[in-house]
Structure 1
Amino acid sequence: MKTQIKVKNINSTSDLVLDDRVHKSLYSDEKIFEEELDKIFNNTWVWLAHESELPEAGSYKTATIGRNPVIVVRDRKKNIHVMLNRCRHRGATVCEGKTGKTKAFTCPYHGWGYGLDGSLRALPKPEEYENILDKAEFGLIKVRTESYQGMIFATLKDDLEPLEDFLGGAKKWIDLFMKQGGGYPIKTLGDHRFRFPGNWKIQLENTTDAYHFPIIHKSFISSLDEEASEIFDFLDGDGFVEDLGNGHSVMVMIPELVDLDENLDEPIPERYGDLAKQLADEGHSDLEVRRLVRAVGGGGFNLNLFPNVACSMAFFRNLVPISVNETEIHHIALGGDGAPEAFNQKRIRLHEHFQGPMGFGTPDDGEAWERVQAGSMAGTDGWIMLHRGMSKLSTSADGNVQGAVCSETGMRAAYQQYKKLMSQSSEQ
């Protein structure tokens, strides 16, 4: 057992992250939270949207990078831009909607107008700016953006490594996750948002934490039929958690559902019998029916992409840090673009069953996250233990560190990337 480090002997945030534990002050120290916004969210790739959320020219979504409000928009040429949501005149936001469609952005304060590509197009009384303002120099400030498999990321750091390099070993798993559409491209079906009174890292840890599942989610498991409940009894199965580098990790809970294009000749589960019949009655071939039915429940893994999004079995979970003790969560339901209506409806019903605000999963998770935050205020010293499974690690086929499905390998991966970024000096 390593020697306990007292808070008074800690000189920097990096001292709060050890190989097998992190200090509880990471959940409650306001100074540390402000440092995180600067050194992490302002200095890495941050997920903002999926391309299907911007289906047409003029489609937009507002989001944040740390505390920086941004607009994600598709212009008339169908190109995607990410721009700071700030008028270049006096700084008011030019877009307040969560999502929508527009022909332009207009500042509500003084009426400066911007095109979908961010260019300054019009301003009241332009003669007052004659010879003193070049409109080409005062467009909305663009943020570097790159996409992978329809997932849109942006960064405030111009010299950061390319997105594909940052994703690294996670790309393989993103590719697998995008088979959710059952032969159709992935499409977002809507989202719901809520806040919980806790630090963002508490939720980050949760995505690859299988250890809590049979305890926290007893009500969910009890709501399932016998066949489905056996699928979710995976702690003693052949699943695993793998460190994918750069803070990313994957937790495989149901190995037989990792690749949704495989095993299409397996018997159709009884719980999906009605769906299979409906699809067949609509004229879909046997192969199409099997592909759709196999994909409808999602893949058998959770993929954590540091620092703010998870591809979790069948949905996107986006975390947004609000304050040191408040986090906003966006649960984004997924379906197939052009897929049969019955397929997408079933995806929504399954999403509601677990992730929805009246579901059996999310409310229980939220209660646990809130209690962790409350407990972090107890005492003047204390550590969050992340050492489970450290004595039984192995090397994956891809050469990565791998632990059992109930190990804390994913959390350790995230915190080592956290430590790396927090150890860097702030850029001026």
Structure 2
Amino acid sequence: MLQAHEKFNDLDALYTPDARVATSMYEDADLFNEEMERIFKRTWVWVAHDSELADKGSFKLSNVGLEPVIVVRDRKGEVNVLVNRCRHRAATVCEVKKGKTSSFQCPYHGWGYGLDGSLRGLPYPEQYGEDFDKGAHGLKKLRTETYNGMIFATFNDDVEPLVDFLGPEVRRYIDLFMKQGGGFPVKVLGEHQFTVPMNWKVQLENTTDAYHFPVVHKSFMQSLDGDAEEAFKFLETGKGFVEDLGNGHSVMVMIPERIDLDEHLDDPVEERFLPLVQELRNGGYPEDQVKKIVRAVGGAGFNLNLFPNVSFSLAFFRVLTPVNVERTDIRHIALGMDGGPAAANRMRMRLHEHFQGPMGFGSPDDAEVWERVQRGTKGGEDLPILVNRGLIDEQPGALGPRGHISAETGMRAAYKMWKRMMSL
């Protein structure tokens, strides 16, 4: 039997130059383990949004690949990402998903850690001798950097700075996405998590896939009023595009007139937002602010996909966490306006529930087809998975190729980065 490192020498056989993906990419447990080491431990991975750590002592649990981590703001206001594992006997030191604390303590033998991960104390230290160095036994701390409220961490101290990993076009789209605060800072309103029996790369592909929208989300389209339904007919209008932004990142622009939410403020308001307009006016908001808030409530007109684990999708964050070769956890994070009108945030939540929520029209349908993709890989292992749609007419973009709105350009961007990292 071939060893793992021998099996993956020929990466061109796993992702071919003509954009075909080997079935084993979704099924091979050895390959999955290599991905966790070569990708998730070597690059920047999104772990939290700044608003989730509003105060000193605020924390939340997250993951970097398979590694459980705590994201916490310490007493100096700095954000630390700490591996959630006691340095003594490996028990997790926190099991509460989010909250506030002054320290972390292992429940097994009582080792206590500060918010910066330092070992503060342990019972009966004399049994370790006079040479025991507490400074060498703190929680493992990851390199951490932030861009526009987005917190990333990595195990790789030698990786390029976050701003370089993102690149200029990704940073521009992040800045545009954050305009949906409507003049207020963007904040996390809540989230829900679900598990799908699929390989993580099935999800990596999905948020840059407009081709599936009118098929999988037909019921969602039927639930919309006339104005909203027209906005989501982006495959018919053909005005959008998908673009490779470098380093595995891509953007899928579905509604070009909503790329910059500070533009088109005088366009007619969609019918579903008219009650909100009146509520804001009644609340004393001036007309220019009403227009800005209402336009922001509808979300951006694009999905920004960041390799390897997070998407900025229209009006929410979608985060994937690999669990094993055929299981992935998905978190959908609802976003609102920090300090903004309660009516606007309420509307944001209703829109989130309508599509992304566990009883919504979008996510359950997505999860069904993701699971069916994984089940389908059991048949015909010699048959490749095709991500070559749109190769025939791609054009140069700012940093990489740009394709038709239904093209699989974004998937190819991710797989190019996958191949690059797996070859290291």
State whether residues 58 and 74 of structure 1, in contact with CA within 8 Å, keep that contact through their aligned partners in structure 2.
yes
- The aligned counterpart of 1:389 is 390
Amino acid at match of 2:34: E
Taking the aligned partners of 2:101 and 2:258, their CA distance within structure 1 comes to 40
Residue equivalent to 1:309: 310
**TM-score, scaled relative to structure 1:** 0.95
SS at match of 1:211: coil
Structure 1: which 4+ aligned runs deviate by more than 6 Å? none
Alpha-carbon displacement from aligned partner over 1:133-165 (angstroms, at most 9, x marks no partner): 122222111110101011010110110000010
Which stretch has the larger CA shift, 265-274 or 32-41? 265-274
Amino acid at match of 1:290: K
How far does residue 101 in structure 1 lie from its aligned partner after superposition? 1.1
CA contact (8 A) 1:110 1:124 kept: yes
The one-character-per-residue Cα deviations of 1:4-61 (angstroms, maximum 9, x if unpaired) are xxxxx98534421113211111011111111111111111110000011111111111
Counterpart Cα distance in 1 of 2:403 and 2:190? 34
- 2:187 is aligned to 187
Asked if the contact 1:53/1:61 (under 8 Å) is kept, the reply is yes
What is aligned with 2:242?
A: 241
2:213 is paired with a residue whose SS is helix
Q: Distance in 2 between matches of 1:244 and 1:196?
A: 28
Letter aligned with residue 13 of structure 2: D
Question: Which residue number corresponds to residue 292 of structure 2?
Answer: 291
- Give the alignment of 1:251-266 within 5 angstroms: 251-266=252-267
d(CA) in 2 for partners of 1:212 and 1:356? Answer: 19
Counterpart mapping for 1:106-255 below 5 A: 106-168=105-167, 169-235=169-235, 236-255=237-256
Cα distance, 1:92 vs. partner? 1.4
1:130, CA displacement in angstroms? Answer: 4.8
Q: Which moved more, 1:124-133 or 1:23-32?
A: 124-133
Tell me, yes or no, if the aligned pair for 2:184 and 2:340 is still in contact at 8 Å: yes
Moved more, 302-311 or 400-409: 400-409
> Residue 27 of structure 1: SS of its match in structure 2?
helix
What amino acid is the match of 2:264?
A: N
Give the superposition deviation at 1:85. Answer: 1.1
In the alignment, what sits opposite 2:280? 279
Residues in 2 aligned to 1:347 and 1:410: alpha-carbon distance in whole angstroms: 27
Q: In structure 1, how many angstroms separate the alpha carbons of the residues matched to 2:212 and 2:273? A: 27
Whole-Å separation in 1 of the counterparts to 2:421 and 2:224: 42
Q: Structure 2: which 5+ runs fail to align?
A: 1-6
Structure 2: distance between partners of 1:400 and 1:173: 15
Q: Which residue of 2 aligns with 1:6?
A: none
What SS is found at the alignment partner of 1:63? strand
Q: TM-score, normalised by structure 2?
A: 0.96
Q: CA-to-partner distance for each residue in 1:303-347, whole Å, 9 max, x for gaps?
A: 000000000000000000011111100000000110100010100
The equivalent residue for 1:34 is 33
Higher mean displacement: 264-273 or 42-51: 264-273
Partner of 2:15: 17
- Equivalent-residue separation in structure 1 for 2:381 and 2:151 (angstroms): 41
SS of equivalent residue, structure 2 residue 211 = helix
Q: Cα distance, 1:111 vs. partner?
A: 0.4
Structure 1 counterpart of 2:55: 56
1:90 aligns with 2:80: no
Supply the AA of the counterpart residue of 2:348: R
Moved more, 116-125 or 203-212: 116-125
8 Å Cα contact 1:13/1:32 also seen in 2? no
- AA aligned to 1:344 is N
CA distance in 2, matches of 1:373, 1:261: 41
Number of residue-to-residue matches in the alignment:
416
How much does 1:268 deviate? Answer: 1.8
What residue is the counterpart of 1:403 in the other structure? Answer: 403
Looking at structure 1, the residues matched to 179 and 152 of structure 2 have their Cα atoms a distance apart, in angstroms, of 20
Separation in 1, partners of 2:361, 2:144: 36
Q: Distance in 2 between matches of 1:161 and 1:201?
A: 24
Cα distance in 1, alignment partners of residues 29 and 126 from structure 2: 47
Matched residues in 1 for 2:56 and 2:157: separation?
26
**Equivalence for 1:323:** 324
What is the rounded CA distance, in whole Å, between the counterparts of 1:379 and 1:83 in structure 2? 43
Moved more, 386-395 or 406-415: 386-395
Q: Is the 8 A contact 2:188 2:333 kept in 1?
A: yes
Task: Give the AA of the match of 1:207.
Answer: T
> Quick check: 1:417 aligned with 2:424?
no
Structure 1 residue 364 and structure 2 residue 365: aligned? yes
Using the alignment, how far apart are the partners of 1:248 and 1:25 within structure 2? 23
CA shift, 1:399, in A, is 4.5
In percent, how many aligned pairs have the same letter? 60
Q: 1:10 to 1:31 in 2, by over 3 A?
A: closer
Letter in 1 for 2:214: P
Contact kept in structure 1, 2:299 and 2:314, CA below 8 Å: yes
Distance in 1 separating the partners of 2:48 and 2:357: 20
Q: In structure 2, what is the equivalent of residue 374 of structure 1?
A: 375
SS of the residue corresponding to residue 210 of structure 1 reads coil
Which whole-Å CA distance do the structure 1 matches of 2:206 and 2:141 have between them? 33
State whether residues 14 and 422 of structure 1, in contact with CA within 8 Å, keep that contact through their aligned partners in structure 2: no
CA contact (8 A) 1:120 1:135 kept: yes
Are 2:76 and 1:77 equivalent residues in the alignment?
yes
Which residue identity is paired with 1:333? A
**2:264 aligned counterpart, secondary structure:** coil
Q: Is the 2:8–2:31 contact (alpha carbons within 8 Å) kept by the matching residues of 1?
A: no
